[in-house]
Amino acid sequence: LKLAGAGKDAVVMTGTGSGKTESFMLPVLAHLLSESRTWTGSRGNGDAWWHAERAARYISQREGETRPAGVRALLLYPMNALVDDQMSRLRRALASDGACDWLDANRSGHRFYFGRYNGATPIPGSRSANPAGLKSKHNRLKDKLALFERHSQLARSIDEQEGRAEPDKIEYFFPSVDGPEMRSRWDMQDAPPDILITNFSMLSVMLMRQQDESIFDETSRYIEGGGIFHLVLDELHLYRGTAGGEISSLIKQLLHRLGLYAGHPNLRILASSASLGAKPEDFLEKFFGTKWSDDQIVKGSPVSYSDSNSLASFLPALKGFSETYKKLESLYPASDDGVSIEFVNSIRLAIEGISSALGADNIKSALFGLDGKTGVIGNLAGALNDLKDPQCKPKAKDFPEVARTLFGSEDQDSIIGVESLVRLRAAYEVAYPEDTKSRCAFRLHFLINNPQGAWSCACRDCAPDPEPERNFGKLYTAPRQFCENGHRVFELLYCECCGEVYLGGSEKLLDGAEGGAQMTILTLADPNVE
């Protein structure tokens, strides 16, 4: 926000979940708030022309609006899933009742328009079709908007019935037709939104299509009149190699179409990335075509926690808490409405018991320390520090390694102790949701390795727990010729329809000994590779 306000481009480089989206949206919204002080005249009529009595003629969403239209911010994403996520955020921020009431009171009823322009936006194709084709598109758009309206009304009704709070309303997951969200491609072609969200594939098509020229023409006029154009790119680290070169070229084509260039006084480039390598300035210069300085790159810095101390004496209390937590979880299971008040109250009592076991009067200081970085949970965070790193940055570690640091052992009880500490941190957030800010948090990674196949001994008695109905022996995750008892091993197969289990292999025909009959045997590998 500070860099953009000073007229500089900026890139935020921090980890996942650190608020990068908010960091580049704040400058955009701040600019809209500042510019909107000068807006005069009335806003668009917003008539619901698709209702039966008004469906004879399409009416532009912003028809009659006098303020200059034009894209103030273009948000580019590599995939539509990220576009949809951003739309939900913008609906909460710009289309909520509170936001609209504030704009009515402070901006003469003007709105900050935003729109998604991708394959899901109605209605595709040129508007200069023959009369019959245009009427067909008109009716399809009318039906689509009526459907959007029904979905939106149903979502609002559910929110009201369930008493959902503002951040949790499900209405923000559906397109709205009675607010600042642009309804269709036709509406955005007639008057571009202040914030346009699309992907690179669609932008490439838009730059070549005649029906989308008005979006760029209106934006160019806005820029020529002194307006500031924000180019926002998320997930910048994905744009490397050949694909990155193509996107870089597309960005430069867009800027040229708008009469801009990297470093132009009316252009603000805002981007975010988890990482851009050791020399991000070099990457940014090649990608955007302009010099970048170190002060334009906002880097995240890890929080350092105190060194871990042995918690071996605390292990029995942790195991007791874990067992209590599991019992309460089964006794008071969570529902769609969240956790019950009985669960919350019981968890608070369990946490108070942990505090007493530590001999501490204050729960918060016992778990996090007075500075939020020490205490029991601070010890868990400290166990993740990489002591080989000069800055002692945290690194991913598995539970046994953390258990060895905290409890001096990798036995099962110590591993359960680590799980209990993680569960304790989560429980504190449930029990005291108002007091979790600035507290150390953790990200768990569950790695699942799907086996590429299974192999089995042909002797049922080799199974660890042989059962009468079992017709195969010990299981293996890799092919081998024989089991430990010398029995043949084959690939284990099963029928997806009935679940019947088979042993599979390749047939080999053997001549019978001393003129006897031929016999067929099964081998693990194909005996006739040629």
pLDDT tens for each residue of 467-515: 777 888 999 888 888 999 999 999 999 887 888 888 988 888 777 666 6
**Mean pLDDT, the chain, whole residue set:** 84
pLDDT at 437: 60
Q: Taking the model in full, what pTM does it have? A: 0.67
pLDDT at 361: 67
Q: Work out the burial of residue 41: count CB atoms within 10 Å of its CB; fewer than 13 is exposed, 13-18 middle, 19 or more buried.
A: exposed
pLDDT tens for each residue of 180-199: 999 999 999 999 999 999 99
Confidence of residue 82 (pLDDT cuts 50, 70, 90): confident
> Of the given ranges (104-108, 264-268, 271-275), which has the lowest mean pLDDT?
271-275
Average pLDDT over residues 368-382: 75
| Distance of alpha carbon 305 from alpha carbon 375, whole angstroms | 10
pLDDT tens for each residue of 117-176: 998 899 888 887 677 788 888 888 999 999 999 999 999 998 888 888 877 788 999 988
| Distance of alpha carbon 486 from alpha carbon 458, whole angstroms | 10
Average pLDDT over residues 321-327: 87
pLDDT for residue 285 is more than 70: yes
Q: What is the DSSP string of 222-265?
A: HHHTT--EEEEES-GGG--HHHHHHHHHHHHHHHHHTT--TT-T
pLDDT at 371: 66
